[in-house]
Amino acid sequence: MISRYTLPEMGRVWTTENRYQCWLEVELAASRALNEMGIIPDEDYRQIAEKADFNCDRIDEIELVTKHDIIAFLTNVAEYVGPASRWIHYGMTSSDVLDTATALQLRQAGELILTQLQRLAENLKLQAKANRNTVCMGRSHGIHAEPTSFGLKFALWLDECNRNIARLEEAIKGISVGMFSGAVGNYAHLDPQLEVLACRYLDLEPVNISTQVIQRDRHAHFLHVIALIGSLLEKIALEIRHLQRTEVLEAEESFTKGQKGSSAMPHKRNPIVSEQLCGLARVLRSNAHAAMENNALWHERDISHSSVERIILPDSCILIHYMLERSINLVANLVLYPDNMKANIDITNGLVFSQALLLRLTDAGLTREEAYSLVQENAMSCWESGKPLLDKVLADERITNIIPKAEIHDIFDFKRYMRHVDYIYQRCGIK
């Protein structure tokens, strides 16, 4: 992933040095288990534990000859350890190291993502609380529907964010597994107890069964959860983009001192963060699709998945971590314009109360078809004339003969649209 989208703490997880460090931890866990099982002599294990190390440049140098990264790594570690290195990688195959170490990296990355996701949830909750009683226009198909609470937008996003937290916790658990089962996964040269012990040292769960690889449904699930988190960020960003349009301007990304919106037009304040989030979410979905393609491999293993994962695993983790940081700042510093929200409600001259009127007429005894026709006739006249719907209704004796004028005024009241907001908040866990 390019440095533009890489935050330091996540970038460190995917460095070559950390990758080799995870490999070393896996090899040391296996050696420790073999020593505990009485296979590696105590003195040899002490040499391994004390001296095992690596040098990234030296591994690259060796790999130019071996054309095999694990062998290059093992050769370099042996240079540090000496004769006792004969026990390192004993009975194992490359994927025992690669897949188990990848689990360590994914867990490190997943925990960073989880922390960011929890921070986003806190900021969404704060905005939901702050805007609980802010009335705005609810829209369907991009058209004015009925008034609602602006805080419900944040409550909706928070509820989905909490589901994503639960999904991510499950996905982290799903990829926090290791294997030490040998060339085709049948423990031909290893005792399964080695796997149990080594995984315990690494705080991983042993897989129930493997081939030469840990099965890739786990990784596909992890990346699909990341893609789902990305789709939430896109959902938030897309709403803000619409609300920031000049003709709407109910919400706006913060615009900092010295910031420039356009090289040509000094007046521009564009929703650049929101647009960026919508674009990057597409990459996450593409990577999740690639992860699905990795699940079906030839027989006990091929390496068609390997080259793909060198790209999609770090890239998706780095991207979602960056996107969450941007989203947290976006939500926390979002500029809202309640006066514009009210003005936008008013531009349709009360048309938004049409359903309330429809229901009151049906309560009074009209059929739904009769009531609908009567309200629609007045609504269309309101559209065409620009006169308030309330005035139209009060002048229509067909309605005033059924509903007293005092009750008609009550129909055109915003309170009905806010009366159950607290109930929804309670269900979303917002006090």
Measured CA to CA in angstroms, residue 20 lies from 24, 159, 175, 223 at distances of 6, 39, 19, 23
Nearest alpha carbon to residue 360 among 368, 348, 352: 368
Burial 169-180 (b: 16+ CB within 10 A, else e): eebbebbbbbbb
d(CA 317, CA 227): 10
User: Which residue out of 68, 189, 254, 262 is catalytically annotated?
Assistant: 262
Cβ atoms of 207 and 175 closer than 8 Å: no
Token pair 């929200």 in the structure block, residue: 341
d(CA 110, CA 314): 11
d(CA 41, CA 400): 98
- Asked if 409 is an active-site residue, the reply is no
Nearest alpha carbon to residue 218 among 150, 309, 108, 299: 309
Burial (Cβ within 10 Å: 0-12, 13-18, ≥19) of residue 427: exposed
Dihedral of alpha carbons 322, 325, 326, 327, sign: positive
Neighbours of 90 (CB within 10 A): 15
- Asked if 262 is an active-site residue, the reply is yes
State the DSSP code for 395.
T
Instruction: Give the helix/strand (H/E) hosting 149.
Output: strand 143-149
User: Which residue out of 3, 141, 267, 299 is catalytically annotated?
Assistant: 141
Instruction: Enumerate the β-bridge partners of residue 148.
Output: 136
User: 15 is written with which tokens?
Assistant: 């460095």
State the DSSP code for 207.
P
Catalytic site positions:
141, 262
